[in-house]
Amino acid sequence: MSHSQRKLNLNAFLFGTGHHEASWRLPEAEPDRNLDFKHVLQIVQTAERGLMDSVFLADGYSGRSNKLEPFTELAALASRTKHIGLIATVGTTYNEPFHVARKFASLDHISKGRAGWNIVTGAGSAAHNFGRDEHPDHALRYEEADEFVEVAKQLWDSWEDEAVINDKAAGTRIVKDKVHTIDYKGKYYSVKGPLNIARPPQGYPVLVQAGSSESGKEFAAKVAEVIFTAHQSIESAQAFYQDVKARLPKYGRTADQLKILPGISPILADTAEEAREIENELFEYVNKDGAVKRLSERLGLDLSDHPLDKPLSLDGVRETEEVNGNKSRHQLILDLVRHEHLTLKQLINRLAGARGHFTFTGTPLQLADVIETWFLNGAADGFNVMPQIYPSGLTQFVDKVIPELQNRGLFRTEYEGASLRERLGLKRPANVRFETKAIL
């Protein structure tokens, strides 16, 4: 596909009052609306007005996040939107394939083909909430996830597309020969099937993955159709893009079957000076002591007495191979310190903006330039847009950045097709396991 034909894919990452950790402290912020569905709906409708491909909800099973459960929230959003894709994060480590396959099939039916599954193994331990003594090892989690997704696919395929006929004259609702047990017996899961709901309109929900470790990249090359990833520079993004796309052929896949969407977290204003003022205001609200404590825990170093304005040393730091959580994000932080020689304050401020994703402060025109450069130079197929302030940051992106991208021929001017797959340029997967062969 030529550059003139190729279009950006844009996802809006929903995140409370914004992706900057201090956004909730701004005078205009309304953190009490975190559980207000009408507030979330307005944000999602803004994204849909901007013709964005999808919205995405992160999730986890521990901590004090105080946010709605994704399936419940997205099902409600599906009834109040028409086009935008709805992507839920669901972890494999603390779930069962049958439950997850059923829920995503339901969401895809409710939304008429707009569901996506962000597959994670669990970056932070929730073992204590599920009767386990410890969080499984990183490599083991990906091995389990591989099998988990395979079971889910087989369950979605356990109903052929023509299984439901509702033939009143014949008195037949479901053709029994077109609904199959899967009799799956693997290393980690044993599932008889079939699923108790018809095959999703998209065949499968769009499969999304967000890990960038070595295990994560290999898993993505085999399974994922979209990757959310974090990079601090175009060079890093280009290397990741080339690496993952090069892994696809071994799984019989082509480059256009996987969309790579780095995170981009903007602060926008009409002038660069105004944007910088907003950035400085946010930095003033950052809880420095809390940030130092979290960073100390992540790096395995006591930074409590380290001067804020002194460059960090990585002597004695916990290396990435020792981490049993989010390895790629840990490595990104180490690379930031090594390559940019950041002070403790600079690192805290950088991470406060979007937890390691690429942050941008400036005008809509300047952001459009960055997006175009990454898109046309092998660093991205689109972006996971992460406004540092909600809802104003997304409104500015939709009203000022997207029209500029449209003027440059880089983004759609109307929605194409009916499903999230169609808008991402992804084919509907055939049911190769149980499809009845025509008798010649």
Per-residue pLDDT reduced to its tens digit, 370-401: 999 999 999 999 999 999 999 999 999 999 99
Q: What percent of the chain has pLDDT over 90?
A: 72
Question: What is the domain-level CATH number for residue 101?
Answer: 3.20.20.30
Instruction: Say whether 258 sits in a helix, a strand or coil.
Output: coil
Q: Largest Cα–Cα distance in the chain?
A: 80
Beta-bridge partners for 87: 56, 116
Query: Which residues have CB under 8 Å from 186's CB, separation 6+?
Result: 147, 150, 151
Q: What is the pLDDT of residue 132?
A: 86
Question: Quick check: is 342 in a domain?
Answer: no
Pairing of the two strands 190-191 and 184-185: antiparallel
Q: Is residue 146 part of a domain?
A: yes
Rounded Cα gap, residues 147 and 222, in angstroms: 12
246-276 pLDDT, tens digit per residue, is 999 999 999 999 999 999 999 999 999 999 9
pLDDT band of 237, cuts 50, 70, 90: very high
Which two tokens mark 146? 């591989």
Question: Do the domain assignments include residue 75?
Answer: yes
398 touches 49 (CB < 8 A): yes
Q: Please tell me whether the overall predicted TM-score, pTM, comes out greater than 0.85 for this model.
A: yes
Tally the domains of the chain: 1
Amino acid at 164: V
Beta bridge partners of 259: 226
86 belongs to a structural domain:
yes
Determine, yes or no, domain membership for 303.
no
Residue with tokens 């499903």: 419
* C-alpha pair distances (Å), 307 with each of 310, 318, 340, 383: 5, 20, 17, 36
Residues spanned by the domain of 233: 9-273+356-424
